A and B are shown apart, each in its own frame.
Chain A
Amino acid sequence: MSRTMFWEALRRRAVPASLVGIVCIAAFLGSVGSVGFMIQISTLLTFVVVVVGLYSFVGLSGVVSFGHISFMAIGAYVAGLLTIPLATKHVLLPELPGFLATASAGEPLATVIAGVAAVVLALLIVPVAMRLSGIAAAMVLLAVLVIVNVVISQSDAITGGLRAMTGIPVENHVSTPLVWAIIAIVVVFEFQESSVGLRLRASRDDEIGARALGVNVTRERSVALVLSAFFVGVGGSLYAHLLGAISPSAFYLELTFSTLAMLVVGGMTSLSGAVIGTVAIFALKEVLRHVERGLTLGPVHIPARPGLQLVGVGVVTLLILALRPSGITRGREIGLGSLRRIGSGRPRGGENVPEEGSLAASE
């Protein structure tokens, strides 16, 4: 390896290193704070895993997915089924068929199996959805979300149906989500820099051009969907162990919207955007959640305002899309390399430069 190649490799790795730094700082703050704060940080890190997973498909391929939360749901329910203590499971879900009634695993193993279960679902979707155009693929993924939601809601014997699946052992220390967040960041970064990742990004920026150069868009998107499903499934398991009780309605359009908002606000076309957007929207949601419940500031009482949280997230998302369409990070990666670019104001790839003379906002 020549000297320049060494420095280049080091410079490149500054991106995941910075992002790992961010999640480590968050985890450190969480571990020294109160228990309540630690749970919030654990939830944040879980969302980092989910949104980084979402990014590895949506961000790299440019295909919007309304279906990834079904991977999360599958992960959550599989992990729940494996980790609820056998005695409790026998009481709560007496009609479980054979091997599900006796299957049991510790949380770390259950989380990996949850990811694998999500991969199995992704492999079922791939042959159908990935050869379609972007918008039709988005529709198929939405249909998957509906189908998975209906199946979970109706399979009372296995999932507890519309009632919550309860009794999942609560594991709210920051260490587990931190480890998974680091794994997700490192793996997805290496994927994005790999030849598959490069071809995928080429097809996102110019699908026809990429096809003309021999990129097999269907295959690259399929690989990305499978990888992405794994991490989102893992995130589902972590989420289930934070909540202790899960229900089908928790994994539907609301969560789909929140996670997409995190990705878009940070900047859909960079890994840094996924991480930073998650932190930003999570912080906003936490602040609004307190206001939503009602506050008493001295003599002033603000009554409870249900709905405020998502109105806030929605408005911020729309503002970002209108004013800074490539997100907080402008679609760039942070790290040592970005220091030089700061202030130059020149957007790198992924920026949506409106065509001159295309339909402008004003007449």
Chain B
Amino acid sequence: MSDYIQYAIDAISLGGLYALSAVAIALIFGVMRMVNFAQGDFITCAGYAILLFGVHSTWLIIPVALAGAVLVALLVERAAFRPVRNASMPTLLIASFAASAVIQNLIILIAGSTPRSVGILESVSASFVTIGGVRIAVLDIVTTVTTLSLLGLLTVCLYKTSLGLQLRAAAENFTVARMVGVRANRIIAAAFAITGVLAGSAAGLLLAKTGGLSPTRGLQLTVVGFVATIIGGMGNLFGAAAGAYLIAIITVALQTALPVQIRGYRDAFVYGIIVLFLVLWPDGIFGARGTVERV
């Protein structure tokens, strides 16, 4: 029994990390109709920002990671995405793919391609608490609490603030939103700043968990985020988060259930199962809203 509780905790903790990436990608898709392939690279950049500045002081890590990711997100939006904002969906997809390649290789150019080890929050990642006979890593609790409160904050922001109202209006119909006074540049920059905050938080949690950093560290989170967003129904934030938790559950379940000899194939099975979900629900499990164009 306690084993199953442990698996559930693993899945929830991993799902939280995936959800931070998926929700960010869904948010940008909502306002720009662009899958942001660079989301994972914002996470990598935040990691390198921690490596560069904050590694000595625990209290500096959070602001440094957040500031690093937000700065990179805003910079990329301004330099790479604003000039192609009107373009068709294939163009946007390739633009963000190109931006991702540029960021990764700039990191290689500046910091080298050798993987680094960054030990942050080591006191947290090494400690456990025992609740009702189950040993739980404190980091899993921290990850879950952080992700759930960030997702909660984002919900409050979307539904209770003027910025959130503008974001939702822009996601519904950008042209009409602009006509009623939503400023295009400001609202898209705000969306990217939010994804920066999500990326910075993800970077902190990821480094505390694994301690390893390389120029392609965030790539896997981009792929998971993209897949989760499609599974959840494009542009649907709750769907994206649910999709992320679903992928985490499948991953942890397969990690446990697969025999050791074929455990290496785990990710092939994960993505295979996800693709089968799309056969059953071609518009995503939580129904896509506004992805089918009306004429």
Contact = CB atoms under 8 A, between A and B. Distances in A.
Contacts of A33: none
Classify chain A's interface size: 35 or more
Contacts of A77: none
A139 B288 CA distance: 15
Best-buried of B223, B262, B283 by chain A (most CB within 10 Å): B223
A251 B140 CA distance: 35
Interface string B158-186: 00000000000000001100100001111
Contacts of A208: 293, 295
Interface stretch (A14-22, A144-152, A222-230): A144-152
A314 B83 contact: no
A50 interface: no
A142 B90 CA distance: 14
B23 to A, nearest CB: 17
Considering the complex of A and B, which 3 residue pairs feature the smallest CB-CB distances, nearest first? A307-B108, A322-B83, A314-B102
Best-buried of B97, B113, B185, B262 by chain A (most CB within 10 Å): B97
A306 B113 contact: yes
Interface of A: 58, 62-64, 66, 128-129, 131-136, 138-140, 142-144, 146-147, 150-151, 153-154, 208, 253-254, 257, 260-261, 264, 268, 305-311, 313-315, 317-318, 321-323, 325, 352, 354-355, 357-363
26 contacts: A128-B275, A128-B278, A136-B230, A136-B278, A136-B283, A138-B35, A138-B93, A142-B223, A144-B275, A146-B223, A146-B267, A151-B265, A151-B268, A208-B293, A260-B97, A306-B112, A307-B106, A308-B105, A311-B105, A352-B86, A352-B88, A358-B86, A358-B175, A359-B86, A359-B184, A360-B184
Classify chain B's interface size: 35 or more
Interface of B: 35, 79-80, 82-91, 93-95, 97-99, 101-102, 104-109, 112-113, 174-175, 178, 183-186, 215, 219, 223, 226-227, 230, 234, 262, 264-268, 271-272, 274-276, 278-279, 282-284, 291-293, 295
A268 B215 CA distance: 29
B185 A322 contact: no
Contacts of A153: 264
Nearest to A143: B271
Contact of B227 (A63, A139, A325, A357): A139
A64 B226 contact: no
A232 B106 CA distance: 29
A308 B109 contact: yes
Nearest to A150: B268
Given A64-B93, A313-B101, A358-B175, 20 more contacts: A62-B90, A128-B276, A133-B292, A135-B234, A135-B291, A136-B282, A138-B93, A139-B230, A151-B265, A153-B264, A253-B219, A307-B106, A311-B105, A314-B99, A317-B98, A357-B175, A359-B86, A359-B174, A359-B178, A360-B184
Contacts of A358: 86, 175
Contacts of B282: 131-133, 136
B110 to A, nearest CB: 8
B188 to A, nearest CB: 9
A314 B278 contact: no
A253 B94 CA distance: 12
B102 A321 contact: no
A315 B223 CA distance: 22
A150 B263 CA distance: 11
Contacts of B230: 135-136, 139
A62 B90 CA distance: 7
Contact of A321 (B95, B178, B223): B95
